[in-house]
């Protein structure tokens, strides 16, 4: 038997004090299997030891929340006995090492989190951050990640309806791949993970267990160094076909009442799933590892418990229902094995070849997982930058073209055309708008889904950035006419043991909390990915937010495309000229400075509710929120989508480039038919909402008074060609 | 000068294709078949390159592009 | 009139196909499981899109060997109309019901977008109201839609009026620039010799209402159902 | 008894994967490379089957499933 040395403990990522605690809990030295279990259970990934204290401060309740954080995914009520179930999850480290499989299995994992709760997935999203475009690895990573996401989601037949993609040098050594899934279930048929019923069978279904990704969970929490590629950590290979079968088989079994509890095997596989189920139910579990379906010979208990083979589930069945369940899984040609039973001992007892190979108390291991109050320092808010701090460009028109063809604004069509975004026949707003919208099959309702975060704001001032990420999702949903209901988050940060990084985390959480409270927009699920650092350089703090909203009447859905000529273009909200941390500043002046635009949550709510009421009232013909790049970029996106130009007058209050590219928040562009302008103006006045007429739609160009006149054709070339151009450039290693 | 590169999944790496093929062969009545693994062969003409340089060059092609060394092994044969 | 939709493990456009047929036919098609060896009485067999058996080995190869396909091939040879879309088209070529093969897209990527198609010829049964040369818009969503046939087969397809659709643009141009996936002669869909089997890569079932972005698919299904009833 | 089946596209059938690899190799500076073709290798364990029966059995597997003879050739090697 392997002797447990200091080195072995360290290799398992346990600190000395954590190991002390383990010894105390156990009252003896753990064997290797037990040590492995401690190590994955107490990894950052599974235990949230650095983040828990702060996550707890987020608002998680609302009358429409059926299940908040803590289960496999969050559940909200969307009326008529139906629920939306959703979550976002990271697969950052594996995707850097093997972009195709890393991203693919990330999608597979988040899909399981959602269908494990009884939902049929109806939409996928993905939030991606890559290094600078000309970094030698960027193209290889972009092409692999996008192909992997598509490869998995397309095969599953779930439409990928949107996402976001950023490029910034802070991600050169640590890309972010965050995947989100939204599913649909009946409120009276939702499945949870708490094991119950002493004597009930514990059942394993899905793929066989191999030696995949052993230590994946600890890898996902370990900082990178330059030779992590050399170590070739065990990467899992996804099998979307098996997952599709698993989905259909699980839903078929879920239509009966045979299941007591169910949990997918994700990170830390059988270990975390069995412990979580036992812990939630306050019971013990006894597993006979000989019965675990195995792909390879000679697997040890350690390997079986730590394997991260994909496409597997663990269930507790009601007594006597085993054969019925087995028949369903066999029909779908999947493995089905009874591997243990629920006990009243409160312990996890594992046997193999007749020996007890591990015997651990469940609750202490799961609940006394270390929880740290890590030291943190707040980030000072930099001074704002206004009109005086940013020189005017020589040529506003050329600047617009440059902005539209810049890394973080250019069209992502090259990406979403590789995703099946229409399968299931309910996508009524495809990628390219403010949010993806899918009808709820067979009803008048629809769900809008978006993911957003502006990491450069979060870096400059985490609190503002955290709030901004939340409000941007809320605005994006609002712009489609949907009522925003709840969010999921994916908190991607550097090393939390550095106080400034921990300060970023705390700041972002604080900002998110305020925004969620002010907007009645609770957090129902989420995920934390820390240690996104290479050689001591962390990523920009990136709290990716996934928002879900409801359209009661799908016919009321709004899109951003200009619908025709002669309509009046209006801006809802105020433009004061916030130039700090703008795309303009970075792309045109090469500066990353100043405070991010200020957030006024009361105004966000007021303006957003106003816009939504206009949309529902039929007053608006197009709507788009103003975000990255400011007003002129938003208008240009609307023009390109509708293939109709605009004749603009941005007023005299601000210099043209500031009026055009400032990133003031709480703003929307709407178009209104000429005969409705007066009525809408009146409504704005009554609602106390700032509203400004900025121009008229028409012709084939964007014209800004006397300052600029650019053809849509030129804008379109810059906008659509940037990403394909980047990806087609020669010399990229690996296809 | 020509080369043939055979790329196969490393031992222990899941091979969904191989698994599916095995299953389909069983369905067609080839019940005894097992351990099916699928790999790739890439054949290429190396152009004007000396016999001495060829192995190192093809090896470079493999690590840089042809094989995904995180999950795949490769074998090189030089033909002429 | 009656219709049947074949469902394989990994099919994922089966429901979309069912909805489209239902909308035009007014009744629900039978959903037939791949493991069945008998088809119900039917006037139309639809083989839907998806990733049957994960499309492992070759797209459609494993599905082509499933028990139900033997029955489909038999019925087709007796003249029952078959509509094979996307993965269905791949399966149909694998079984030999349709000539040629579908290779990986020339750009190596999965492509999902609306495309303009030129309607070729006048196979009344399938294209009904559509005129020869008319441009219609259906989406594509495939990784392996690059139609290949050897020269002789290609000449026969062209000569016998077996080409059904070509990748085009909205002005009716058919050339390399409009050839999204590298298919020979821009071919997006073909008929068998007898004209009762249509295989096509684009998905008419995906554009069946304004809300989904267009109605050419609905017109296609209306035509089809009309001509078969 | 084991077998290895090598499947390659027939001459004259355009090979988009091979072409893409060739293009990428050129981009990486391997300019002299040409005629790149990609194929598949499938390895399988035939189980209890006599040496005499093996070739015919594997050939049947190829024509029935493993190769699409409209576009592909196959070659069988028996290993043991
Ligand atoms: N990785 C991706 N996958 C799918 N769609 C994407 C992706 N990245 C961006 N998009 C889509 O591109 C459009 C523009 O994205 P973004 O600039 O983030 O929009 P917004 O500013 O409205 O949030 C959106 O419709 C978005 O869904
Ligand atoms: Mg938006």
What tens digit of pLDDT does each residue of A461-470 get?
A: 999 999 999 9
- Chain A interface, best mutation among B10, B11, B16, by max A CB count within 10 A: B16
Residues of chain B with C-beta less than 8 angstroms from the C-beta of C65: 24, 27-28
Query: Span A363-371, mean pLDDT?
Result: 86
Percent of chain A with pLDDT over 70: 96
How far is the alpha carbon of B68 from chain A, nearest alpha carbon, in Å?
8
- Report which secondary-structure segment, H or E, holds A525: strand A523-529
Which structural domain, as residue segments, surrounds residue D11?
2-79
Q: Are B54 and B1 in contact (CB under 8 A)?
A: yes
Q: Which of A9-18, A328-337, A353-362 has the lowest mean pLDDT?
A: A9-18
- The Cα–Cα gap between B8 and A311 comes to 22
Mean pLDDT by 10 residues, chain C (229 residues): 96 97 97 94 97 95 94 97 98 97 96 98 87 96 97 97 97 97 98 97 98 97 94
pLDDT tier at A2, thresholds 50, 70, 90: confident
Give the tens place of pLDDT for each residue, A60-105. 999 999 999 999 999 999 999 999 999 999 999 999 999 999 999 9
Report yes or no: A362 and A281 within 8 Å, Cβ to Cβ. no
**3-state secondary structure labels for all residues of chain D:** CEEEEEEEECCCCCCHHHHHHHHHHHHCCCCCCEEEEEEEEEEEECCCCCCCCHHHHHHHHHHHHHCCCCCEEEEEEEEC
Query: Please, what's the b/e burial string for D51-80 (b: 16 or more CB within 10 A of its CB; e: otherwise)?
Result: eeebeebbeebbebbbbbebbbebebeeee
pLDDT of residue A211: 85
Residue D20 has pLDDT above 70, yes or no: yes
Say how far apart CA A714 and CA A684 lie, in whole Å.
35
Total length of chain A: 735
Whole-number average pLDDT of chain B: 92
Q: Could you give the CA distance from residue A688 to residue A19 in angstroms, rounded to a whole number?
A: 60
Q: Note the pLDDT tens digit of each residue in A669-685.
A: 999 999 999 999 999 99
- Confidence label for A218 from pLDDT (cuts 50, 70 and 90): low
**Could C12 and A417 be called an inter-chain contact, meaning their C-beta atoms sit closer than 8 Å?**
no
A138-156 and A240-254 helices, crossing angle to 10°: 40
Cβ of A567 closer than 6 Å to ligand 1, yes or no, is no
In angstroms, the CA C88 to CA C93 distance is: 9
Residue nearest to atom 20 of ligand 1 (CA): A434
Secondary structure class of A456 (helix, strand, coil)? helix
Cβ-based contacts of D49 with chain B (< 8 Å): 32
Measure C211 CA to ligand 1 centroid, in angstroms: 21
pLDDT of residue A234: 67
Cα A137 from chain centroid (whole Å)? 23
Rounded to the nearest angstrom, the distance between the alpha carbon of A559 and the centre of ligand 1 is: 14
Supply the pLDDT for residue A386: 87
Q: Which chains touch A (3 or more CB pairs under 8 A)?
A: B, C, D
pLDDT of residue A227: 47
Ligand 1 atom nearest the C-alpha of A431 is: 25
- Token pair belonging to A158: 């779930």
Contacts of C77 (CB under 8 A, 6+ apart): none
Ligand 1 pocket, A165 CB below 6 A?
yes
A172 close to A448: Cβ distance less than 8 angstroms: no
- How many angstroms separate the alpha carbon of residue A173 from the centre of ligand 1? 23
**Chain C interface residues facing chain B, Cβ-Cβ under 8 Å?**
53-54, 56-57, 61-62, 65-66
Any residues with CB less than 8 A from the CB of C76 and at least 6 apart, and which? Answer: C45, C82, C97, C192, C196, C197
d(CA A179, CA A452): 12
Q: Which atom of ligand 1 is nearest to the CA of A146?
A: 1
Strand bridging mode A201-206 / A335-343? antiparallel
Dihedral, C39, C163, C89, C35 alpha carbons, nearest 10:
20
* Residue contacts between A and D (CB atoms, under 8 Å): 11
Residue D4: other Cβ atoms inside 10 A: 17
Residue A462 CA neighbour count, 13 Å, CB half? 24
What is the pLDDT at residue A729? 77
Element (H, E) at C187: strand C187-191
Q: Which residues, other chains included, contact D76 with Cβ-Cβ below 8 Å and sequence gap of 6+?
A: D3, D4, D5, D55, D58, D59, D62
Q: Report the distance separating Cα B53 and Cα B56, nearest Å.
A: 6
State the residue range of the domain holding C171: 3-228
Cα gap C111→D29, rounded to integer Å: 29
Interface of D with A (CB under 8 A): 20-21, 24, 26-29
Q: Which helix (H) or strand (E) holds B6?
A: strand B2-9
| Ligand 1 midpoint to CA A373 (Å) | 36
Across the interface, of D42, D57, D61, the residue whose CB is closest to B38 is D42
Residue among A348, A367, A346, A332 nearest A49 (CA)? A367
> Would strands A537-538 and A533-534 be described as parallel, antiparallel, or unpaired?
antiparallel
Ligand 1 pocket test, candidate residues A146, A412, A432, most atoms within 8 A of CB: A412
Nearest CA in chain B to C65: B28
pLDDT band, residue A223 (cuts 50/70/90): low
pLDDT band per the 50, 70, 90 thresholds, residue A215? low
pLDDT of A735 strictly over 80 = no
Quick one: what percent of chain A has pLDDT higher than 90?
90
Which stretches within A617-711 are classed as H helix?
630-642, 656-661, 677-687
Q: Is the pLDDT confidence value at A217 over 80?
A: no
Pull the structure tokens for residue A12: 């398992």
d(CA A516, CA C94): 54
C-alpha A175/C-alpha A166 separation (Å) is 10
**Residue A44: per-residue pLDDT:** 86
3-state secondary structure string across A421-442: CCCCCCEEECCCCCCEEEECCC
Contact between A173 and A261 under an 8 Å Cβ cutoff? The reply is no
Find out whether the beta carbon of A412 lies less than 6 Å from any atom of ligand 1.
Answer: yes
B73 CA → ligand 1 middle, Å:
37
Domain count, chain D: 1
d(CA C122, CA C31): 29
Query: Is 60 exceeded by the pLDDT of residue A226?
Result: no
Q: Point out the ligand nearest to the CA of residue A125.
A: 1
* Shortest distance, CA C218 to any CA of chain A (angstroms): 13
CA distance A662 to A388: 12
Beta bridge partners of C200: C85, C189
In 10 A of CB A374, how many CB atoms?
18
Please give the C-alpha separations between residue A133 and each of A146, A252, A725, C146, in angstroms, as whole numbers.
15, 45, 11, 31
Question: Hey, which residues does A360 pair with through a beta bridge?
Answer: A348
Residue A228 clears pLDDT 70, i.e. is over it? no
| SS3 assignment, position A623 | strand
Contact D26 A730 (CB under 8 A): yes
| Whole-number Å distance between alpha carbons of A127 and A160 | 11
Which of residues 3 through 62 in chain D touch C, CB cutoff 8 A? 12-17, 19-20
> What are the backbone dihedrals phi and psi of residue A288, each rounded to the nearest 5 degrees, phi first?
-105, 105
Report how many domains make up chain C.
Answer: 1
Sort A199 into a burial class: Cβ within 10 Å, 0-12 / 13-18 / 19+: exposed
Closest atom of ligand 1 relative to the A451 alpha carbon = 23
Bridge pairing between strands A701-704 and A646-648: parallel
Lowest mean pLDDT among A58-72, A233-247, A271-285, C45-59: A233-247
Cβ contacts of B39 on chain C, cutoff 8 Å: none
Q: Which two tokens stand for residue C98?
A: 């349709």
What is the Å distance from ligand 2's center to A142 Cα?
22
pLDDT at A515: 98
Q: How far apart are CA C59 and CA C86, in angstroms?
A: 10
Q: Which of B21, B43, B48 sits opposite D42 (nearest CB)?
A: B21
- Residue-wise pLDDT for A475-491, tens only, equals 999 999 999 999 999 99
Nearest residue by C-alpha to atom 13 in ligand 1: A432
- Compute how many other C-beta atoms are within 10 angstroms of the C-beta atom of residue A672: 22
Write phi, then psi, for A486 (nearest 5 degrees).
Answer: -165, 165
CATH code (residue C87): 3.40.50.880
Among candidate residues A465, A460, A376, A421, the one with its CA nearest the CA of residue A124? A421
Q: Tell me the pLDDT tens digit for each residue of D47-70.
A: 988 999 999 999 999 999 999 999
pLDDT at site D80: 75
Burial label for A16, CB within 10 Å (0-12, 13-18, 19+), is: exposed
With contacts defined as CB-CB under 8 Å, which chain C residues touch D13?
103, 148, 150
Distance CA A150, CA A112 (A): 16
Q: Give the model confidence (pLDDT) of B30-46 as tens digits.
A: 999 999 999 999 999 99
Please give the pLDDT value at position A231: 40
Least Cα distance to A456 among A631, A627, A592, A590 occurs for A592
Number of inter-chain CB pairs under 8 A, A vs C: 86
Element (H, E) at A558: none
Out of A98, A210, A295, closest to residue B70 by CB: A98
Catalytic residue among C13, C34, C86, C142: C86
CA distance A415 to A735: 15
Of A245, A247, A120, nearest in space to A185 by CA: A120
The contacts of residue A678 (CB under 8 Å, 6+ apart) are none
Helix (H, G, I), strand (E, B) or coil at A261: strand
The Cα–Cα gap between A476 and A547 comes to 9
Average pLDDT of the residues in A154-175 = 98
List, for residues A97-135, the tens digit of each pLDDT value. Answer: 999 999 999 999 999 999 999 999 999 999 999 999 999
pLDDT tens, residue by residue, C101-131:
999 999 999 999 999 999 998 788 898 889 9
A431 CB within 6 A, ligand 1: yes
For the Cβ of A433 lying below 6 angstroms from any atom of ligand 1, the answer is: yes
CA A119 to chain CA centroid, Å, is 18
The overall average pLDDT reported for chain A is 94
> Which residues in chain B have Cβ-Cβ distances shorter than 8 Å to A242?
16
| Residues A626-681: tens digit of each pLDDT | 999 999 999 999 999 999 999 999 999 999 999 999 999 999 999 999 999 999 99
pLDDT for D39 equals 96
What is the rounded distance in angstroms from the CA atom of residue A629 to the CA atom of residue A631? 7
Q: What per-residue confidence (pLDDT) applies to A232? A: 38
- A512 — phi, psi (to 5°)? -60, -45
Nearest ligand, measured from the Cα of A159 = 1
| pLDDT mean over A361-387 | 92
């Amino acid at each position: 038997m392997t002797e447990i040395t200091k080195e072995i403990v360290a290799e398992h990522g346990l600190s000395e004090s954590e190991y002390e605690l383990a010894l105390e809990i156990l009252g003896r030295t753990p064997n290797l299997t037990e040590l492995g279990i401690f190590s994955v259970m107490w990894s950052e990934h599974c235990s949230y030891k650095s983040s828990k204290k702060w996550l707890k401060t987020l608002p998680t309740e609302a009358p429409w929340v059926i299940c908040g954080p803590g289960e496999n995914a969050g559940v909200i009520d969307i009326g008529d006995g139906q629920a939306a179930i959703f979550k976002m999850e990271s697969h950052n480290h594996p995707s850097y090492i093997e972009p195709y499989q890393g991203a693919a299995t990330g999608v597979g994992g988040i899909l399981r989190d959602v269908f494990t709760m009884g939902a049929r997935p109806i939409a996928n999203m993905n939030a991606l951050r890559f290094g600078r475009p000309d970094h030698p690895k960027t193209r290889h990573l972009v092409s692999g990640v996008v192909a992997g996401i598509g490869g998995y989601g397309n095969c599953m037949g779930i439409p990928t309806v949107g996402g976001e993609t950023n490029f910034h040098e802070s991600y050169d050594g640590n890309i972010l791949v965050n995947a989100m899934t939204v599913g649909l279930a009946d409120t009276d048929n939702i499945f949870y993970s708490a094991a119950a019923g002493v004597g009930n069978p514990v059942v394993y279904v899905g793929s066989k267990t191999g030696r995949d990704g052993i230590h994946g969970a600890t890898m996902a929490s370990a900082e990178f160094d330059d030779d992590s590629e050399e170590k070739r950590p065990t990467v899992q290979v996804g099998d979307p076909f098996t997952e599709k079968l698993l989905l259909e088989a699980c839903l078929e079994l879920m239509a009966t009442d045979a299941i007591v509890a169910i949990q997918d095997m994700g990170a830390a596989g059988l270990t975390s799933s069995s412990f979580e189920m036992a812990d939630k139910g306050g019971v013990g579990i006894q597993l006979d590892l000989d019965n675990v379906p195995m792909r390879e010979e000679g697997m040890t208990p350690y390997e079986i418990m730590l394997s991260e083979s994909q496409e597997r589930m663990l269930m507790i069945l009601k007594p006597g229902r085993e054969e019925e369940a087995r028949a369903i899984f066999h029909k779908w040609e999947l493995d089905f094995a009874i591997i243990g039973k629920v006990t009243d001992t409160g312990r996890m007892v594992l046997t193999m070849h007749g020996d007890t190979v591990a015997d651990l108390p469940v609750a202490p291991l799961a609940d006394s997982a270390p929880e740290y109050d890590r030291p943190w320092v707040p980030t000072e808010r930099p001074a704002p930058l206004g009109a005086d701090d940013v020189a005017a460009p020589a040529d506003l028109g050329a600047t617009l073209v440059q902005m539209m063809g810049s890394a973080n604004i250019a069209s992502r069509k090259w990406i979403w055309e590789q995703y099946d975004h229409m399968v299931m026949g309910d996508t009524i707003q495809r990628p390219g708008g403010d949010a993806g919208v899918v009808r709820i099959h067979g009803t008048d309702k629809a769900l809008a889904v978006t993911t957003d975060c502006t990491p450069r704001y979060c870096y400059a001032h985490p609190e503002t950035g955290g709030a901004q990420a939340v409000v941007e999702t809320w605005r994006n949903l609002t712009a489609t006419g949907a009522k925003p209901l709840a969010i999921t988050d994916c908190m991607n940060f550097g090393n939390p043991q550095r106080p400034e990084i921990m300060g970023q985390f705390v700041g972002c959480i604080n900002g998110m909390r305020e925004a969620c409270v002010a907007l009645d927009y609770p957090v129902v699920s989420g995920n934390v990915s820390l240690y996104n650092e290479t050689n001591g350089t962390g990523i920009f703090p990136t709290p990716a937010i996934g928002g879900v909203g409801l359209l009661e009447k799908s016919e009321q859905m709004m899109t951003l495309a200009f619908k025709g000529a002669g309509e009046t273009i209006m801006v809802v909200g105020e433009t004061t000229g916030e130039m700090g941390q703008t795309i303009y500043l970075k792309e045109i002046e090469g500066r990353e400075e100043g405070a991010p635009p200020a957030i006024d949550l009361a105004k966000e709510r007021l303006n957003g509710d106003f816009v939504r009421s206009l949309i529902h009232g039929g007053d608006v013909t197009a709507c788009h929120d103003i975000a990255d790049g400011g007003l002129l970029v938003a208008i240009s996106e609307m023009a390109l989508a509708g293939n109709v130009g605009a004749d603009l007058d941005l007023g005299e209050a601000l210099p043209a480039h500031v009026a055009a590219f400032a990133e003031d928040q709480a703003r929307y562009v709407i178009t209104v038919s000429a005969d409705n302008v007066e009525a809408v103006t009146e409504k704005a006045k009554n609602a106390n909402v700032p509203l400004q007429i900025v121009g008229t739609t028409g012709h084939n160009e964007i014209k800004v008074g006397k300052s600029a006149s650019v053809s849509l054709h030129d804008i379109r070339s810059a906008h659509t060609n940037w990403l394909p151009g980047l990806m087609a450039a020669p010399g990229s290693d690996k296809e | 000068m020509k080369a043939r590169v055979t790329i196969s999944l490393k031992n222990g790496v899941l091979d969904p294709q191989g698994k599916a093929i095995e299953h389909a062969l069983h369905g067609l009545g080839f019940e005894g078949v097992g351990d099916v693994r699928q790999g790739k062969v890439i054949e290429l003409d190396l152009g004007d390159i000396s016999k001495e340089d060829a192995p190192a060059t093809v090896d470079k092609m493999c690590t840089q592009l042809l094989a995904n060394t995180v999950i795949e092994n490769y074998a090189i044969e030089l033909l002429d | 009139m009656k219709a049947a939709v074949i469902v394989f493990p990994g099919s994922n456009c089966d429901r979309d196909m069912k909805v489209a047929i239902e909308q035009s036919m007014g009744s629900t098609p039978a959903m037939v499981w791949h493991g069945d060896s008998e088809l119900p009485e039917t006037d139309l067999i639809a083989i839907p899109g998806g990733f049957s058996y994960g499309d492992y080995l070759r797209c459609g190869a494993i599905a082509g060997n499933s028990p139900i396909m033997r029955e489909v091939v038999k019925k087709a040879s007796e003249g029952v109309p078959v509509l094979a879309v996307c993965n269905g088209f791949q399966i149909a070529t694998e079984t030999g019901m349709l000539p040629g093969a579908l290779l990986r897209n020339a750009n190596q990527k999965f492509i999902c977008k609306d495309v303009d198609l030129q309607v070729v010829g006048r196979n009344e049964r399938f294209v009904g109201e559509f005129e020869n040369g008319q441009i219609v818009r259906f989406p594509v969503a495939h990784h392996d839609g690059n139609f290949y046939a050897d020269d002789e087969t290609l000449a026969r397809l062209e000569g016998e009026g077996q080409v059904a659709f070509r990748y085009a643009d909205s002005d009716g141009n058919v050339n390399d620039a409009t050839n999204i996936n590298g298919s020979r002669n821009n071919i997006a869909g073909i008929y068998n010799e007898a004209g009762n089997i249509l295989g096509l890569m684009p998905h008419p079932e995906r554009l069946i209402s304004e809300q989904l972005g267009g109605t050419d698919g609905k017109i296609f299904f209306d035509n089809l159902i009309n001509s078969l009833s």
